[in-house]
Amino acid sequence: MAVSSEYTPPQDPLDVLHEDHEILVVNKPAGLLSVPGKGEHLSDCLLSRVQLVFPTALLVHRLDRDTSGVMVFGLTPHAQRHLGLQFEKRYTKKTYVARLAGKLEPKTGTADLPLIVDWPNRPRQMVDHENGKAASTDWRVLRQTDTETRVRLMPKTGRSHQLRVHMLALGHPILGDPLYAEGAAREDYDRLMLHSEELRLKHPDGGRGMSFRAKAPF
């Protein structure tokens, strides 16, 4: 099952949040791949667009195609290694904003549910308590109505589709999700309502703590 049959990425100009001698931080638009997919028609991606302007830029991490928000690139091999290690060791702190179907209760909590790829339906992931890899997400409700909840999500691990599957498992899929939402929760929205709002990390040159933010566009 493909996310969608056509890939028509947005043509927004590059939104640079921070640039220095070691790192580049940009605000990725929804609908744009982080890295090239298989095939020429999937070659347009944030990495290639960034490298047109910053030729030394190197990939550190990814966001799902349909997710928007803060992404960091290394501008030197040293920065790429340093940042990559921070992600691997979970030293980085990531905060997302999402809009969910229904009224999520309680107001705060942790989804601690191991995940594995759903092979017959890839790229879908699923909860699997026997074979899945550990995955943990803290949530905090920001506001809600009887039909919708706005939450802040703080993943402690970085599994594929983690936030999307965890919210689905709680019974509250992210609105506009082409893979995991159904009916009106998917069809009434023009995008996945998931945005990487803040990324905190240590600068590769000297280790100073830094925080980068991009306001959710929904």
CB-based burial, 178-197: b 16+ in 10 Å, e otherwise: bbbbeeebbeebebbbbbbb
Distance CA 11, CA 9 (A): 6
Q: Is 190 a catalytic residue?
A: no
Q: Which residues contact 137 (CB under 8 A, 6 or more apart)?
A: 110, 111, 153, 154, 155, 156, 157, 162, 163, 166
Query: How far does CA 94 lie from the centroid of its chain?
Result: 9
12, 20, 44, 64: the active-site residue? 64
Strands 194-202, 68-74: pairing kind: parallel
CA dihedral sign of residues 52, 56, 59, 63: negative
Active site residues: 64
